[in-house]
Amino acid sequence: MNPPPKPNREAHARAAVARFGVMDPSEWGTGLSAQGAREAQRVSVDLVLDGRFGEAPSTPPAKLLIWCAANVFTAPLEWTARFAAWGSQVTLKAPSACPAPVEALAQAFAPLGVVAVNRPHEACWDLVSEADAVLGFGGDEAMAELAAHIPAETPRSLHGHRVSLAVVTEDDAATAKALAMDLCLYDGQGCMSPAAIFCLGDPVRLAERLGDELFDMTTRLPRGAPSPGLGAERRRRLGLANALGRAWEGDDWLVTVTPARTFSPVSYARLAAIHPIDSLDALSALPPLPWSSLGTDLYADAAAKVAATLGVPRVCRPGELQRPRFGRLHDGVNVEATLCRSPTWAP
């Protein structure tokens, strides 16, 4: 008598991703507009379903804890799908500020044993001590606090604050359209939103075209609720542009052209900061930062040189900053290999 076939966990995981994709995120309190939340959901689901799950690099953790952040509500999806497909029992620690998306994700993956926990983080240290591996997302202080509660022998991959940028040579409509999507998806939240655009082309032409695209986005992909500090930062950037450069603005967006020395490593919803540069050498003057991603139309060799000079772990085309492929290094880290133990692993 033949043994019963093993369940195809990847097929079940794909079905769970699809279930998550048809849920309505407009009432989840993400801070995004209904259209913005649905677009972010669609993009993240498509990236997972279009990707390859592959085999676990070694032994997956029996119990994986994913400590979720509130700013990018789709961030846990790809890791939940991959580790659930590999047989890990996944627990999602929901952020107190926005638990609904994580609870919905757990509901979609319930047939694979995924659960969500919604309680204050200080009441969740038992989850940390019981986990065989921990994957964490959040601010630097939150990740430092989490790290202090993880047993020394427990594998972990913790990801705090990072900064992304764009470097472009073209100032055409296609480049502006791609940059507008990078700026608008998730309303500037998360480490993959470009804090600045360094332009080797005509910065005024790019700014005018980017302004047109952002104006179009006000109806096609409206901005959600303004984040704290947005108004003050908009006034600051507008004043700086009026003194040192130029500005184009609408009710929900602002494009500025100012010298590279005015670079600020913080992204805000639909505040596009363009900095003209004469050569790539100007980028070496940027302060050392925990970089995330570089969106660029440079040729591969030049892009790789810029990434190496700055220490940026991920390079992509404009328009793909907020669309990281499924099955990748995250912040330069092989998350799967970090959290999976080889058969000979010992503490």
Q: What is the pLDDT of residues 228-262, one digit of tens each?
A: 889 999 999 999 999 999 999 999 999 999 999 99
Contact 146, 275 (CB under 8 A): no
Is residue 344 predicted with pLDDT exceeding 90? no
Mean pLDDT to the nearest integer, 207-225 = 96
Q: For residue 327, what pLDDT is reported?
A: 84
Q: What string of H, E and C letters represents the secondary structure of the chain? A: CCCCCCCCHHHHHHHHHHHHHCCCHHHCCCCCCHHHHHHHHHHHHHHHHCCCCCCCCCECCCEEEEECCCCCCCHHHHHHHHHHHCCCEEEEECCCCCCHHHHHHHHHCHHHCCEEECCCHHHCHHHHHHCCEEEEECCHHHHHHHHHHCCCCCCEEEECCCEEEEEECCCCHHHHHHHHHHHHHHHHCCCCCEEEEEECCCHHHHHHHHHHHHHHHHHHCCCCCCCCCHHHHHHHHHHHHHHHCEEEEECCEEEEECCHHHCCCCCCCCEEEEEECCCHHHHHHCCCCCEEEEEECCCHHHHHHHHHHHCCCEEECCCCCCCCCCCCCECCECHHHHHCECCCCCC
Q: For residue 176, what pLDDT is reported?
A: 98
Q: For residue 54, what pLDDT is reported?
A: 85
Q: How far apart are CA 141 and CA 136, in angstroms?
A: 12
Residue type, 186: Y
Is residue 6 predicted with pLDDT exceeding 60? no
Q: For residue 7, what pLDDT is reported?
A: 61
Q: For residue 20, what pLDDT is reported?
A: 98
Mean pLDDT to the nearest integer, 85-99 = 96
Mean pLDDT to the nearest integer, 310-329 = 94
Mean pLDDT for all residues in the chain: 94
Is residue 11 predicted with pLDDT exceeding 80? yes
Assign 303 a pLDDT band (cuts: 50, 70, 90). Answer: very high
Q: For residue 227, what pLDDT is reported?
A: 84
Domains in the chain, ordered, with CATH? 9-161+333-339 (3.40.605.10), 163-316 (3.40.309.10)
Per residue in 38-88, pLDDT (tens digit) is 999 999 999 999 998 888 888 999 999 999 999 999 999 999 999 999 999
What proportion of the chain, given as a percentage, has pLDDT over 90? 89
Whether the model pTM is above 0.85: yes
